[in-house]
Amino acid sequence: MATPLNVNVVELLRWPGTTKDVLATVEVEDFEFNDARVSNVPISINVHLESLSNGVSVAGAATATWHGECRRCLTPLSQLMIVDLSELYQQIPEDPDAYAIVNDQINLLPMVRENVLVAIPLGPLCREDCPGFCPQCGADLSEGTCGCDSAIVDPRWSALENLKGTLPD
């Protein structure tokens, strides 16, 4: 079985400045994400390859869907994200961040996989001003206020509270 996103770059390596476009849709199972945050929706890849004197430049975007929970109120979230791709492939990788060209082919799969995983938010929010839950009673503050006293002060700071107003500015 052919590996998805294997691109033959023989022609690109012969003449610097040569370009090639790659458009593909790849099933999520082919990436082997092993991450529950990646939705089981096929990933679309649109990249432009350009031959350089020291390798092949890959630039473009991948479109993937992730799902998770709001870090403050635990509301289920699902969102389509567009991941910008910009990487270098070299026959003998001189740059530590470059990917290897093997047998005049580049495998875009690991590069797309890494960029998608890095782009998924670690602590997503349902909205920027999400109030979350009340720390005292656990009520969802996005549905309304609770009856808890918000003026609760940590007793460890009470000694400093006594100094308030007694010292000059």
Q: Are 45 and 108 in contact (CB under 8 A)?
A: yes
> Does residue 71 sit in the same domain as residue 25?
yes
Kindly state whether residue 86 falls inside one of the protein's structural domains: yes
Q: Which domain holds residue 164?
A: 131-169
- The model carries a pTM of 0.78
Instruction: Determine the Cα–Cα distance for residues 68 and 66; give it in Å rounded to an integer.
Output: 7
> Does residue 17 sit in the same domain as residue 91?
yes
Kindly state whether residue 124 falls inside one of the protein's structural domains: no
Instruction: State the pairing for strand pair 76-90/99-100.
Output: parallel
Q: Tens-digit pLDDT profile for the chain (169 aa)?
A: 356 789 999 999 888 899 999 999 999 888 888 888 998 899 999 999 999 988 999 999 999 999 999 999 999 999 999 999 999 999 999 989 999 999 999 999 999 999 999 999 999 999 999 999 888 888 888 888 888 876 666 778 878 877 877 877 6
